[in-house]
Structure 1
Amino acid sequence: MTNWKTWVSIGALSFVFGLLALGNTIVASLAVTILLGTVFAIAGAAKLWAGFSAEASQEHRLFSLLWGLVSLMIGVSFIANPVEGTVSLTIVVTGFLLASGVIRLMMAWRMRETGYFWMLLFSGAATVLLGSYIVAYFAAISLSLLGLLLGIDLLVDGMGLIGFGLFLRNRR
C-alpha cells in the first residue's frame, strides 16, 4: 500500500478516535475490556472445540480443555462485568509497568559503563514512578487508565501514520 492518501486517512481516523477515547476514558476503558473479553471468549471456545475434536494425547487434550475453559470464563466475566474486568486489567497493566521499570533499572545498573546508562536509568525510573503513582491513586485512576493509554496510543499512531503518508507524498 503505497498510496499516501490511504496512510493519511488511516492516520486521521486513528487521531480522531484517540481524541474520542481521551474525551471519555472510562467508556474507552470499558470498550477495551469488553473487546478483550470477546477475544478471550472466542479463543476459549475455539480451544474447547479443539480439545474435544483433536486426535491428541490425553495430556494435551486435558490441557487444551482446561485452558479453553479458563479463557472462556475470563472472557464471559469481562463481558458480564466490564467494570470489574477493567479494574483487573488495570492491576495487570500496573504490575507490568512496575516490573518493566525495575528490570530497566537493573539493566541500567549493569550497563553503567556504556552510553545507554542514562537513557535506561531515566526510562526505568519514569516507569517505576508512573506505576507507583497508579498504585497510590488506584481508586481514582483504575477505571480510566486503559482508556487513557488507548487514547494516547491512537493519537501517537495517528500522527505517525499521517507523517508517514506525507513522507510518501513528498517522496514521489
Structure 2
Amino acid sequence: MINWKTWVGLGALTFLFGVLALGNAVIASLAITILLGTLFAITGAAQLWAGFSAEAGGHRIFSLLWGLISLMIGVSFIANPVEGTLSLTMVVMAFLMASGVIRLVMSWQMRQTRFFWAMLLSGAVTVLLAGYIFANFAAVSLSLLGILLGIELLVNGAGLVGFGLFLRSHRS
C-alpha cells in the first residue's frame, strides 16, 4: 500500500493545480481543449487504422467514418482552441440543461416521497446554472471549463489529503 505521505503530497499538488487553474481559467480552458483535441486526433487516427485493417463490411465503413470525424474534431480543436472551447462550453451547457430537466421530471415522479424537494432543488439549480451560462455566454464561455477543472482539482486535492490523513490515523 502507498504511504500516507504520498496521498497527502498528491492531494496538496492536486490542490495547487486547482488554485493555478482558477488563477487563469482561460488558459486552463484552452489547455483542456488542446488536450481533448489531441485525444480526439489520436483516437481518430487509431480508428482509421483499425478501419483500414479490418475485413470488408459494415463495420469497416463505420470505423472509417467515425475515425475521420474524430480526427477532424481533434485537428479542429488543436488548430482553433478558442472555437473549440466555445463548442465545449455549449456542450457542457446542453448537458447541464438536459440533466436539470431530467431531475425536474424525476422529482415530479417522486412528489409523494420525502426526496421530492431535494431532487426538485437539484434540478432547478442545474437548469438555472445552464440558463446563467446561456445568458452570459460571451462572458463565461472561455473560462467555464477552466473554472470547472479548478473546482474539481481543489475538491479532489482536499479529498486526497483527507484520505492520506485517514490512512495515517488508521495504521496497523
TM category, shorter: over 0.9
Q: How does 1:1-172 map to 2 (within 5 A)?
A: 1-55=1-55, 57-172=56-171
Q: Aligned partners of 1:109 and 1:15: how far apart in 2?
A: 38
Q: Aligned partners of 1:41 and 1:124: how far apart in 2?
A: 35
AA aligned opposite 1:5: K
- When the two structures are superposed, what TM-score results if normalisation uses the length of structure 1? 0.97
**Post-superposition CA distance 1:18-42 (Å, at most 9, x none):** 0000000000000000000000000
**Post-superposition CA distance 1:27-58 (Å, at most 9, x none):** 00000000000000000000000000122x41
For these two proteins, the number of residue pairs brought into alignment is: 171
SS in 2 for 1:113: coil
Q: Which moved more, 1:70-79 or 1:110-119?
A: 110-119
Shift of residue 2 of structure 1? 3.8
SS in 1 for 2:113: coil
Shift of residue 117 of structure 1? 1.0
- When the two structures are superposed, what TM-score results if normalisation uses the length of structure 2? 0.97
Shift of residue 141 of structure 1? 0.4
Gaps of 5+ in 1: none
Q: Aligned partners of 1:13 and 1:101: how far apart in 2?
A: 33
Q: Aligned partners of 2:61 and 2:54: how far apart in 1?
A: 11
SS in 1 for 2:111: coil
Q: Aligned partners of 1:84 and 1:126: how far apart in 2?
A: 27
Q: Aligned partners of 1:148 and 1:13: how far apart in 2?
A: 17
Q: Aligned partners of 1:2 and 1:49: how far apart in 2?
A: 39
SS in 2 for 1:143: coil
CA RMSD of aligned residues (A): 0.8
Identity %: 74
Q: Aligned partners of 2:48 and 2:115: how far apart in 1?
A: 46
**Post-superposition CA distance 1:38-95 (Å, at most 9, x none):** 000000000000000122x411100000000000000000000000000000000000
Gaps of 5+ in 2: none
